[in-house]
Amino acid sequence: MFTSFTRHFFRVIWHVKVVILMLVALMVAGAGAVTLVEKMPFGNSLYFAFVTGLTIGYGDIVVKTSFGRLVALLIGFVGILFTGLMVAVLVLAVRESYEESKNN
């Protein structure tokens, strides 16, 4: 069952790879914007972008300017889209592997 799930998961990921790459690119671009606006190192901004985008929100790195906060909101929105897409891919893979095992 697990090998069936894995096969279906990566097949679906392959079909939506462009969307996934675009969402990740938007988070990296948001990190770049935070770097420029907040004058922080890119590594810290990238960490901030992914912690914000994945809605973890540790709070150890925060933005202080209004534009930085706007970028953080946009990063959060992109992260919600990314999370929703991954959940949809996982559900589809589970459903297809279940149907495959039921038919065999």
Average pLDDT score over residue span 68-95: 96
Predicted pLDDT at 104: 74
Predicted pLDDT at 2: 84
Instruction: State phi, psi for 58 to the nearest 5 degrees.
Output: -60, -35
Average pLDDT score over residue span 84-97: 95
Q: Mean pLDDT of all residues in the chain? A: 95
Predicted pLDDT at 90: 96
| CB neighbourhood size of 72 (10 A) | 21
| CB neighbourhood size of 39 (10 A) | 11
Task: Please state the pTM of the whole predicted model.
Answer: 0.89
For residue 91, the one-letter residue type is V
For the segment 41-71, what is each residue's pLDDT rounded down to a tens digit?
999 999 999 999 998 999 999 999 999 999 9
| pLDDT higher than 80, residue 92 | yes
Average pLDDT score over residue span 23-52: 97
Instruction: Decide if 19 contacts 85 (C-beta within 8 A).
Output: yes
Task: Give the count of domains, the chain.
Answer: 1
Q: Distance (Å, rounded) from C-alpha 54 to C-alpha 103?
A: 36
Domain that holds residue 96: 2-103
Whichever domain contains 48, its CATH number is 1.10.287.70
